């Protein structure tokens, strides 16, 4: 792979970020960091969608301009992603002048090519979705199935994109490219939606929506979301502004989006790119939703959770625990669930009891029995070494699963290595081996095997829990950054002879959320 470009959906800024937004950004960040570890030039785009009627109304209700409203909410997203160590390459906002230029260029080009035309329209418009719905898409009560409200009947003269012209080509592309849409079963869903696809409105009358990019040479209309928002993936990678960046990274290798907007990315966006004669994305990954205590997030239910509030409630200074939880509780593509109890139990079991305790007791035994030293005789080789073989196998599995955009399965392989190391140390019982002089060398080698496996873990798990991984690496005696370590250099025997630990250096890498040492905030959260 010569390069890797991952782009998330851009978030609509009619409200502040919630845990569902964080799920998508964390997943993308984990995958992005993994590709960086492989030495592959990588680019990670995220951002905010800042035009439309809902923003216009929300700003009016607050008595401020739409731009000021967008600046405020976009700032909250940027702050939240910094809190969660989201390592994006660029944060794009659709109110940027550069983006407006790209959108106008695309709109004008499509008019010139005959793929956009003006016509009168009578349709059912859902304000919540910001899209027109056919009667077939409504539920039995005539409501939008997502928002449970009746759409408005709208009569307007708008510009339309000839989506129907590209239906057959899109169908052929999906069928000819297994893995273009993931999970695989979503491809059939899109093919079924294609059957009913018609030309789509790509503008709104300024009388209905004034907050948007004006249609070129027609100020009575503003460009609608499908060309405006979706074009961010081009703007963000330098289309029309940085040809070197664009040529290096386009097309998108992975579109990371929610399952509810799959149609717009796999049909609308693909048709627009075909019409523009621009290479298509390689893969569109549709992830599931995050429910709260098994209920879908809803303002009316009052169960919308800001991810930063979880960190505050549990007194967590770094986001690793929540990053880990969201990536390891649900097979990617399915819906996941968050509850305080599940969160606490999962991270306590995996990060404190399993991973953290294994590192802590192994290093403590190295200090107790060998004054923190790894002797040259203790260093083991990979041949006929089950833990070494499993460590290398885990590295291969992580790479294979990340290439399939399955961070859940990749993490499962890593935790399996931790489990195996725990079983190994219990079976070998180094505390017993240390008592006899004739088995002390065996004790040293057992500890080396476990610590070397944990070195693998620190590198492989870094994309999920970057702060804990760095702490692990430092406790293993390294003074470099784990983020700079390449997977190609991850070979058995990297833990070198010498003094790597002392009594003062061995500390828990993650405190149980109900620990007396964890602080008043954590205890009060339980």
- Residue 277, sorted as left (phi over 0), alpha (psi -120 to 50) or beta, turns out to be left
Instruction: Using a pLDDT cut of 70, give the percent of the chain over it.
Output: 95
pLDDT in the model for residue 499? 96
Going by C-beta distance under 8 Å and a sequence separation of 6 or more, which residues neighbour residue 339?
A: 292, 293, 294
Radius of gyration of the chain (CA): 26
pLDDT confidence of 523, banded at 50, 70, 90? very low
Who wins on pLDDT, 192 or 301? 192
Specify whether the CB–CB gap between 323 and 26 falls below 8 A: yes
Helices first, then strands: H and E counts in the chain? 21, 19
Residue labelled with tokens 């199935």: 145
Tokens coding 188: 């059939």
Average pLDDT over residues 471-489: 96
Q: Which of 323-327, 385-389, 517-521 has the lowest mean pLDDT?
A: 517-521
Higher pLDDT, residue 173 or 208? 173
> Residue 125 — pLDDT band, cuts 50, 70, 90?
confident
Class of domain 339-525: mainly alpha
Written in H, E and C, the secondary structure of 146-199 is CCCCCCEEEEEEEEEECHHHHHHHHHHHHHHCCCCEECCHHHHHHHHHHHCCCC
- Domain coordinates in residue numbering, the chain: 339-525
Question: Quick one: average pLDDT of 216-228?
Answer: 94
- The torsion angle over the Cα atoms of residues 346, 348, 349 and 350, rounded to 10 degrees, is 80
Question: Is it the case that residue 141 has pLDDT exceeding 50?
Answer: yes
As a residue count, the chain comes to 526
Mean pLDDT computed over every residue of the chain: 93
Beta-strand pair 336-338/290-292:
parallel
From 190, 161, 170, select the one nearest 280 (Cα to Cα): 170
pLDDT in tens, 147-184: 678 888 877 889 999 999 999 999 999 999 999 999 99
H-helix or E-strand spanning residue 49: strand 42-49
DSSP 484: G
CB distance 116 to 224 below 8 Å:
no
Query: Pairing between strand 290-292 and 284-287?
Result: unpaired
Active site residues: 18, 21, 126, 129, 144, 147, 296, 299
pLDDT value for 526: 40
């Amino acid at each position: 792979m010569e390069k890797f470009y991952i782009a998330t959906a851009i978030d609509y800024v009619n409200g502040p970020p919630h845990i569902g937004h964080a799920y998508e950004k964390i997943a993308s960040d984990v995958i992005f960091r993994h590709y960086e570890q492989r030495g592959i030039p990588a680019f990670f785009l995220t951002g905010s969608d800042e035009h439309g009627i809902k923003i216009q109304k929300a700003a009016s209700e607050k008595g401020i301009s739409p731009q000021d409203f967008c600046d405020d909410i976009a700032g909250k997203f940027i702050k939240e992603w910094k809190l969660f160590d989201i390592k994006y390459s660029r944060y794009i906002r659709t109110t940027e002048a550069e983006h407006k230029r790209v959108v106008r260029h695309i709109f004008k080009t499509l008019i010139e090519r005959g793929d956009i035309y003006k016509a009168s329209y009578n349709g059912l418009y859902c304000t919540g979705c910001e899209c027109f719905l056919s009667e077939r898409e409504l539920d039995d009560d005539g409501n939008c199935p997502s928002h449970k409200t009746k759409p408005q009947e709208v009569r307007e003269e708008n510009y339309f994109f000839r989506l129907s012209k590209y239906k057959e080509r899109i169908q052929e592309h999906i069928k000819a490219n297994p893995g273009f849409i993931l999970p695989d079963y979503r491809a059939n869903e899109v093919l079924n939606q294609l059957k009913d696809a018609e030309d789509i409105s790509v503008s709104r009358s300024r009388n209905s929506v004034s907050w948007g990019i004006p249609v070129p040479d027609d100020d009575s209309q503003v460009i609608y979301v499908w060309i405006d928002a979706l074009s961010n993936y081009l703007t963000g990678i330098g289309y029309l502004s940085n040809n070197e960046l664009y040529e290096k990274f386009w097309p998108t290798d992975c579109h990371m989006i929610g399952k509810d907007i799959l149609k717009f990315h796999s049909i609308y966006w693909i048709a627009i790119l075909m019409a523009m004669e621009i290479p298509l994305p390689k893969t569109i990954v549709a992830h599931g939703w995050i429910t709260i205590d098994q209920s879908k997030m809803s303002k009316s239910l009052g169960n919308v959770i800001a991810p930063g509030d979880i960190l505050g409630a549990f007194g967590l200074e770094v986001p690793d625990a929540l990053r880990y939880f969201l990536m390891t509780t649900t097979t990617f593509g399915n819906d996941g669930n968050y509850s305080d109890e599940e969160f606490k139990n999962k991270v306590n079991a995996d990060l404190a009891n399993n991973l953290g305790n294994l590192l802590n007791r192994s290093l403590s035994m190295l200090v107790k029995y060998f004054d923190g030293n790894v002797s040259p005789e203790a260093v083991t080789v990979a041949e006929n070494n089950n833990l070494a073989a499993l460590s290398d196998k885990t590295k291969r599995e992580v790479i294979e699963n990340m290439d399939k955009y399955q961070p859940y399965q990749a993490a499962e392989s890593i935790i399996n290595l931790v489990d195996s190391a725990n079983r190994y140390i219990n079976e070998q019982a180094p505390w017993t081996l240390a008592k006899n002089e004739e088995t002390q060398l065996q004790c040293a080698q057992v500890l080396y095997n476990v610590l070397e496996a944990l070195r693998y873990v620190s590198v492989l798990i870094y994309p999920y829990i970057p702060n804990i991984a760095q702490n692990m690496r430092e406790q293993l005696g390294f003074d470099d950054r784990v983020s700079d370590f390449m997977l190609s250099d991850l070979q058995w025997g990297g833990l070198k002879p010498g003094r790597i630990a002392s009594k003062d250096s061995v500390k828990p890498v993650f405190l149980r959320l109900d620990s007396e040492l964890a602080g008043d905030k954590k205890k009060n959260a339980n």
